[in-house]
Amino acid sequence: MNYYKVQKLKSHLFIACLYCSAAFVLAPLIMVIVFLFYKGASSLNLDFFMNLPKPVGETGGGMKHAIIGTFYMVGLGSLIAVPLGIVCGIFLAEYGKGKIPNCLRMASDLLTGVPSIVIGIFAYTLIVVPLKGFSALAGGVALSLIILPIVIRSTEEILKLIPGHIREAGLALGLPRWKVIYFIIVKGNLPNIFTGVILAISRAAGETAPLLFTAFGNMYLSYSLTGPMASLPVQIYNYAISPFEDWQRQAWAGAFVLIILVLGLNIVSRLIVNRKQLFNKK
């Protein structure tokens, strides 16, 4: 064999390796999803959505309270973080130079990197300690701290992409700057901004660690802002480490619902972007 043939062979081998590793990386994802379908979807039933848990060890019951709890707290977190995050993102994109914007940018970058469990501690010291009790409010605040930096960053990135001449055109028409910002720049890019928001919310919906000792858990349906509240991820965790087969079955069912929720939101946000790009191409 001559040199070239060896090199060719090497190259083919290498590319085969690349194929293999791609398959290897996708395997866990596919396995997780297959496992979820196999174990989770099969144990889903109407009871799961409509009922509260039964006493320990008895079969049946559902996670209605946890599903509602997750929506409640994610909603609460979004209510706090999304408007704040969007305004901060606009601020960074439009008035991005100077000391205060730089501080904000640093703070938000810092917050992105903070492990979610540490965010739980933040919310605990901020809300649970002064209120003397686990509460849905603390859970919501913890989730808002996860949503906030993602929204700030994505909003800033999106608005920065807008070419300067659009702003100038608005200003040249004699509009005040705030009107240019809100009615031309932001309004025209709302779908893109919401993509970031949806991504942030989907991330918060799957978080367990920050809720463990802020919202804690509850075996009943609760709407109280100041009382402990169940959430889907925490309920899955509690059921997963339990020895009862029926609870483990429900943990799988819960995980299935959770992943449909999270991946669904993800796909929706991607579709928004893709449609936008399609329109632009046309």
Q: Which two tokens stand for residue 26?
A: 């996708």
103 binds another protein (CB under 8 A): yes
Is 28 an interacting residue with respect to another protein (CB under 8 A)?
Answer: yes
Contact (Cβ atoms closer than 8 angstroms) between residue 253 and residue 40: yes
**Rule CB under 8 A: is residue 158 a binding residue for another protein?**
no
Identify which of residues 48 and 237 has a Cβ nearer to another protein in the complex: 237
Which residues inside 249-278 make contact with another protein, applying CB under 8 A?
251-252, 255, 258-259, 262-263, 266, 270
Indicate which single residue of 43, 191, 240, 272 sits in contact with another protein (rule: CB under 8 A): 240
Phi and psi torsions of 189, nearest 5°: -115, 15
* Distance from the Cα of residue 140 to its chain's centroid: 13
- Phi, psi of 249, deg, nearest 5: -60, -45
Told to check if 21 binds another protein by CB under 8 A, we report yes
Out of 41, 45, 60, 95, name the contact with another protein by CB under 8 A.
Answer: 95
Kindly state whether residue 219 participates in binding another protein, applying the rule CB under 8 A: yes
Residue 117 contacts another protein per CB under 8 A: yes
Question: Is position 130 an interface residue for another protein (rule: CB under 8 A)?
Answer: no
Question: Measured from the CB atom, is 192 or 239 closer to another protein?
Answer: 239
Token couple for 197: 């928001």
Tell me the two tokens of residue 70.
């997750």
Angle at 222 between CA 217 and CA 226, to 5 degrees: 75
147 binds another protein (CB under 8 A): no
The nearest distance, CB 115 to another protein, in angstroms, is 3
Q: Using the rule CB under 8 A, is 140 a contact of another protein? A: no
- Measured from the CB of residue 157, what is the shortest distance to another protein in angstroms? 13
CA-to-CA distance for 128 and 220, rounded, in angstroms?
A: 20
Measured from the CB atom, the residue of 63 and 181 that comes closer to another protein is 181
**Least distance between another protein and beta carbon 1 (Å):** 14
Q: Does 48 bind another protein (CB under 8 A)?
A: no
On whether the CB atoms of residues 146 and 116 are closer than 8 A, the answer is yes
**What is the size of the binding site for another protein (CB under 8 A)?**
101
Which of 65, 42, 71 lies closest to 238 in space, CA to CA? 65
If the CB atoms of residues 50 and 79 are measured against another protein, the closer one turns out to be 79
Write down the least CB distance from residue 156 to another protein, Å: 12
Q: Which of 14, 278, 279, 281 binds another protein (CB under 8 A)?
A: 14
Note whether 45 binds another protein by CB under 8 A.
Answer: no
Over its C-alpha atoms, the chain yields an Rg (Å, rounded) of 24
> Per CB under 8 A, does 124 bind another protein?
yes
Query: Which CA distances in Å does 116 have to 2, 12, 128, 142, 203?
Result: 56, 43, 17, 9, 11
Q: Does 104 bind another protein (CB under 8 A)?
A: yes
CA distance 114 to 150: 12
Structure tokens at 105: 């940018």
